[in-house]
């Protein structure tokens, strides 16, 4: 069992003992999502793969929040935000824009990129380095800014 899955299960037990139903429900959902992927892949997941599952779940929460706000359902948006906060506790800390910019600049120098033609090459290398700690759209906008 991976460290992250063990941490999730420990947190689930703690939520049961403290009677925090919302937290318990979210953690159970996360464990269920992880187990579903494990069944599909017919093997245990690595911590990195578990992080990908959690990120996908967090992204779904963000999209739901946006849709609920557009529909004027603030009550449901707030419920989703609470879930998102719980999920983010188990994800690696995201990088700041300054940290991402520094990585982008390093990659541009390493690859010798000079124009927008090199964007794909730069994006691939940057996404490898920031794996799980930065949103692709944020990285993309920073790379465009640096290459143009």
Domains of the chain: 3-88 (1.10.1510.10), 97-147 (1.10.10.410)
Does the structure show a pLDDT above 90 at 133?
A: no
Helix (H, G, I), strand (E, B) or coil at 25: helix
Q: Which stretches within the chain are classed as H helix?
A: 3-18, 21-41, 47-70, 74-88, 97-111, 119-130, 136-147
Looking at residue 2, its pLDDT comes to 86
Mean pLDDT for the stretch of residues 6-10: 95
Number of Cβ atoms within 10 Å of the Cβ of 79:
16
Looking at residue 129, its pLDDT comes to 85
Q: What is the pTM of this model?
A: 0.74
**Residue 61: pLDDT band by 50, 70, 90 thresholds?**
very high
Angle, helices 136-147/97-111, rounded to nearest 10 degrees: 50
Does the structure show a pLDDT above 80 at 132?
A: no
């Amino acid at each position: 069992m991976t460290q992250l899955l063990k941490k999730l299960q420990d947190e689930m037990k703690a939520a049961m003992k403290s009677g925090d139903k919302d937290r318990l429900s979210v953690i159970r959902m996360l464990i269920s999502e992880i187990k579903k992927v494990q069944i599909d892949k017919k093997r245990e997941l690595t911590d990195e793969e578990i992080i990908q599952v959690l990120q996908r779940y967090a992204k779904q929460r963000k999209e739901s929040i946006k849709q609920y706000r557009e529909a004027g359902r603030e009550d449901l948006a707030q419920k989703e935000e609470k879930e998102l906060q719980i999920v983010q506790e188990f994800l690696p800390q995201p990088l700041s824009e300054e940290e991402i910019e520094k990585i982008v600049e390093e990659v541009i120098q390493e690859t010798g990129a000079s124009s927008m033609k090199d964007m794909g090459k730069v994006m691939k290398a940057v996404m490898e380095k920031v794996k799980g700690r930065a949103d692709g759209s944020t990285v993309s906008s920073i790379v465009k800014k640096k290459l143009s």
